[in-house]
């Protein structure tokens, strides 16, 4: 197989505080495994930058987890811990790209587990110098009612959909590789208090006449939310992002943003409810849980609508 270029893998540790510890441990073990598999083919030792707000996650706790769950990581990568006081999810990622020493930067979250072949699939398209970003494919792990609904009704897709045209969210910033210099010249614009800037970044890439590529075989397994309540609460958080998107598309007028929020809710709620009904067998959702599953899916998108409307009224 071909040699791999020098890379920096930037891992945010903001999400690590929101999921069960086993998912962070799974992330470390899977990342170590993928780097061990590719180790002999790297042109230079990869850099793994662990980015954290020391007020939320201590350096000691990160080192302890690495020592226990990825003890060989330092043998196959240069591991660096970077404390960024006060930085949120978006700030950690932005700082990680800005400080990267290598031309290629891979973004991955602390609550995702790389699957075998992830790095190869994510890096291969950069052989074309016109490609400035490569988007991997992220799916939700599931094991109970809440996680099954999350897999069906949230913004991610099912494993069976990897090769199909994606309905929305062509890029997730938890599974993305990009060229550092392009990003420095064209940084993404994050909504204040939000967690998503990928869609706008891709629109900017296309507007600038550059190429991005989707890599469906660059797969990550994303941790589910801790509970049904947390999944519904995540909908509330997402309302900030959606109102930000509305302002980009329809302007600052409150009425226009409120109308956009209602259209967004109708579209997403309809899709989510339909997927729960038609694709439930793919995640092992029994028929007797359908009423609860439909209720939870609707609660998530209703929370998004409520937050969007609140943003439209107040700002």
Model pLDDT for residues 27-67, shown as the tens digit of each residue? 999 999 999 999 999 989 999 999 999 999 999 999 999 99
Distance in angstroms (rounded) separating the CA atoms of residues 267 and 69: 42
Q: Where are the beta strands (DSSP E) in 78-199?
A: 78-83, 104-109, 112-114, 131-140, 175-179
pLDDT value for 150: 94
User: Given the structure tokens 């973004």, which residue do they identify?
Assistant: 107
pLDDT value for 66: 97
pLDDT value for 229: 87
Q: What percent of the chain has pLDDT over 90?
A: 67
pLDDT exceeds 80 at position 198? no
pLDDT exceeds 60 at position 231? yes
Number of Cβ within a 10 Å radius of residue 193: 13
pLDDT band at 232 (very low <50, low <70, confident <90, very high): confident
**Spatial strand order in the sheet of 104-109:** 78-83, 47-52, 7-12, 104-109, 175-179, 131-140, 211-222, 112-114
Helices H, strands E: what count in the chain? 11, 8
Q: What is the pLDDT of residues 94-133, one digit of tens each?
A: 899 988 999 999 999 999 999 999 999 999 999 999 999 9
pLDDT band at 168 (very low <50, low <70, confident <90, very high): low
Is the model more confident about 226 or about 257?
A: 257
Average the pLDDT over 267-290 and give the result: 96
Residues 118 and 134: beta-carbon distance below 8 Å: no
Average the pLDDT over 124-151 and give the result: 94
What is the pTM assigned to this prediction? 0.92
pLDDT exceeds 60 at position 194? no
pLDDT exceeds 90 at position 267? yes
Query: Could you tell me how far CA 284 lies from the centroid of its own chain?
Result: 24
pLDDT exceeds 70 at position 315? no
248 token code pair: 């980009």
Residues 81 and 52: beta-carbon distance below 8 Å: yes
pLDDT band at 73 (very low <50, low <70, confident <90, very high): very high
183 token code pair: 């990003």
């Amino acid at each position: 197989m071909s040699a791999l270029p020098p890379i920096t893998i930037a891992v945010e540790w903001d999400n690590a505080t929101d999921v069960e510890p086993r998912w962070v441990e799974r992330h470390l073990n899977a990342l170590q495994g993928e780097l061990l598999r590719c180790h002999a083919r790297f042109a230079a030792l990869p850099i793994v930058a662990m980015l954290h707000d020391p007020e939320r996650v201590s350096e000691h706790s990160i080192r302890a987890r690495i020592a226990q769950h990825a003890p060989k990581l330092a043998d196959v990568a240069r591991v660096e811990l970077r404390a960024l006081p006060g930085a949120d999810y978006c700030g950690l990622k932005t700082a990680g790209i800005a400080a990267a020493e290598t031309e290629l930067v891979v973004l991955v979250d602390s609550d995702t587990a790389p699957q075998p072949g992830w790095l190869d699939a994510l890096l291969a398209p950069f052989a074309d110098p016109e490609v400035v970003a490569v988007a991997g494919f992220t799916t939700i792990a599931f094991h109970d009612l809440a996680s099954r609904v999350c897999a069906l009704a949230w913004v991610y897709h099912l494993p069976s959909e990897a090769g199909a045209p994606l309905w929305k969210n062509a890029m997730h910033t938890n599974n993305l590789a990009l060229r550092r210099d392009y990003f420095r010249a064209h940084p993404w614009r994050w909504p204040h208090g939000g967690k998503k800037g990928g869609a706008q970044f891709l629109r900017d890439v296309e507007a600038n006449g550059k190429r991005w590529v989707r890599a469906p075989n660059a797969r990550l397994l994303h941790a589910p939310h801790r509970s049904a309540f947390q999944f519904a609460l995540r909908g509330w958080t997402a309302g900030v992002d959606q109102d930000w998107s509305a302002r980009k598309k329809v302007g600052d007028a409150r009425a226009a943003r409120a109308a956009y929020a209602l259209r967004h809710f109708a579209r997403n709620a309809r899709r989510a409810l339909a997927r729960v009904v038609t694709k439930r067998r793919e995640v092992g959702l029994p028929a007797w849980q359908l009423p609860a599953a439909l209720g939870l899916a609707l609660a998530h998108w209703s929370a998004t609508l409520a937050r969007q409307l609140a943003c439209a009224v107040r700002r």
